[in-house]
Amino acid sequence: MAEIASMIRSFSNDTLPYNGAPPEDYRPRLAIFGTSSDPPHKGHQAVVEMLVSSGDYDEVWVLPVYVHMFSSKDASLTPFDHRMAMCRLAFEGSSTSRCVVRVLPMEKLVCEAAAVANDGKPVRVGSSLILTIVHTLYPGSVGQTTFVLGSDTFLDLASGKWKNAKNILMENRIAVVERGMIHNGEGETTEKDDNGNSPGFDPISKAIATCAVVDPQDLKVSRFASQGHLDVSSSLVRGLVAKLFSSSVKQAVVDVEAEGPQPEGKDEDEEDEAELRAAVHPQVLDYVFAQGLYVASNKKKEEVFDV
């Protein structure tokens, strides 16, 4: 682990706080939010803003995924540099005088260092390794790090479906963002059924109480209730961008021909654009259009190995 940490410091080029070698008194209350953000939308923004406004953290680190743990999803990921740029536009403006939001290429650096240690073969790293590296580079974060998860992801972690789930749960606090949940009036939240009603079932509390990975009394879990834009999805945003691009191409063809009936659907395009602008930070949307993202895919992936 020390070898990988040393390589990360040499690779970092000042992209990490203190280049991975902080002073002894650097002991931030740290929230780590890993996300594909392809693209980042206002649901992701709402999570970051909830963390910042909670007053529980000195820093929020947004760590864009470099290589997805599921190869089927990794194949379709937009190049990392684009997602880093969009995340900076979406999140860094949420910093306050009391809480700094940083978008960091930590996962990329860990993957690159682990690949060197794996004879140059690309690797797919898990959350446990990322968190361990954070603690190795920043010893002051040990015992003060909170790993931020969605409710569905936490249920998988608490049930032991994740690699090294015990290490993650024992060495970190957990903040659960409860998407698809509603308040029951007693400070708890309950899951909605298909009709949007609550059957009085609280899966998060049940997962904590029945956790077989670690002793439930050892879990340190905080919960953030769903707010506003959390129902937005990146797939919805990508679909709207592709749809609007297709429509604009058709309109360009009509403009060139300058004859025949005009295509229908202008009102629908305006509705789609309005929905898109309501879902995505304006600077992110400008970046998406300027870079021509989500209108075609020509990405090539190498074989990767799990570590």
- Is residue 21 domain-resident? yes
Q: What is the mean pLDDT of the chain?
A: 84
pLDDT for the residue numbered 265:
52
Q: Span 201-208, mean pLDDT?
A: 86
Residues 258, 128 share a domain:
no
Which residue has 């978008």 as its token pair?
Answer: 103
Domain of residue 263, residue span: 234-291
Q: What is the pLDDT of residue 121?
A: 84
SS3 label, residue 181: strand
208 and 270 inside one domain: no
Which of 35, 9, 28 has the alpha carbon at shortest distance from 233?
A: 35
Q: Is residue 72 part of a domain?
A: yes
pLDDT for position 283: 96
Q: Is the pLDDT reported for residue 161 higher than 80? A: yes
Q: Is residue 11 part of a domain?
A: yes
Residues 172 and 115 in one domain: yes
**Does 243 reside within a domain?**
yes
In a domain, 300, yes or no: no
Give the pLDDT confidence score for residue 255 in this predicted structure: 44
Does any domain span residue 13? yes
Domain count, the chain: 2
Alpha helical stretches, state H, 103-145: 106-117, 127-137
Residues 32 and 126 in one domain: yes
Query: Does residue 83 sit within a domain?
Result: yes
If asked whether residues 227 and 245 sit together in one domain, one would say no
pLDDT of residue 183 exceeding 50, the answer is: no
Q: State yes or no: pLDDT of 60 exceeds 80.
A: yes
- Indicate the DSSP class of residue 32: E
Mean pLDDT, rounded, for 266-280: 84
Statement to judge: residues 177 and 251 lie in one domain: no
Q: Are residues 150 and 194 in the same domain?
A: yes
Q: Are residues 173 and 62 in the same domain?
A: yes
Residue 74 within a domain? yes
Q: Which CATH number covers residue 143?
A: 3.40.50.620
User: Is the same domain home to 244 and 192?
Assistant: no
Residues in CB range of 165: below 8 A, 6 or more apart: 128, 157, 158, 213
Which residue, of 215, 231, 247, is where some domain finishes? 231
Same domain for 217 and 260, yes or no, is no
Same domain (yes/no): 136, 279: no
